[in-house]
Amino acid sequence: MSIGGGWTIRRLGGSVGELHDLNPGPDVDREIWLMSPHNTALVLGSAQPEEIASSAITDGSTVVRRRSAGGAVLVAPDHSVWVDVVIGCRDPLWDDDVNRAPLWLGEVWAAALASLGIGPGEVFDRYEPGPWGRLACFASRGPGEVLVSGAKAVGVTQRRTRTTARFQTLLYRHWDPEELLARLADSSAQLRNALSSAAWPVEAQPADIHAAFLASLPR
């Protein structure tokens, strides 16, 4: 499926690990990947040790690793919406500066949320891990991420090569920090308190979120 602005829309299904392992083609143009994960998984950042995951995970969810930086993220099909954006190095949206590179995407998400009646959204422009951000993604703030009343509504990370950038974005329709804490080795009261209001849930249907995002893309 294609829309204005040269965007190709791909709807991709599979396990969380399979979806993270996808690679853009070397000559990719503009693509939106609407992800449909078939399972629940704790996704570790590229530099995180496996020991941060609880050894007591018994609910059938898995632990996988992504090739982008940042803290752990819980992907849950019923509660999260996962959208990736891929551009090539010749695209006018491309920026060699990794801190500036996702800012345009944050503006897209902020506009999409506003059309859903959520906001105003602040597009963050720097990385502030805070005391817990290196452990849990939504306890940090990074460039391109969208905050509503100080809580993270959209998380953003990126995987880059010399020719492509894959921006991975995720939001929660429902936020229960206990679901994440149950899968982390650290379940301290301090972390629980930090996560209690870390995310701003986007209470809309996935199809409506997708539609709002696609309508807000640059043409």
Question: For position 113, what pLDDT does the model report?
Answer: 98
pTM of the complete model: 0.94
- Quick one: pLDDT at residue 15? 96
Mean pLDDT of the 99-118 span: 98
pLDDT at 56 over 80: no
Q: Is the pLDDT of residue 111 over 80?
A: yes
Burial class from Cβ neighbours inside 10 Å (0-12, 13-18, 19+) for residue 90 reads exposed
Query: What Å distances lie between residue 218 and 7, 52, 171, 192, CA to CA?
Result: 9, 38, 20, 38
Q: Answer yes or no: is pLDDT of 60 > 60.
A: no
pLDDT in the model for residue 1: 85
d(CA 187, CA 181): 6
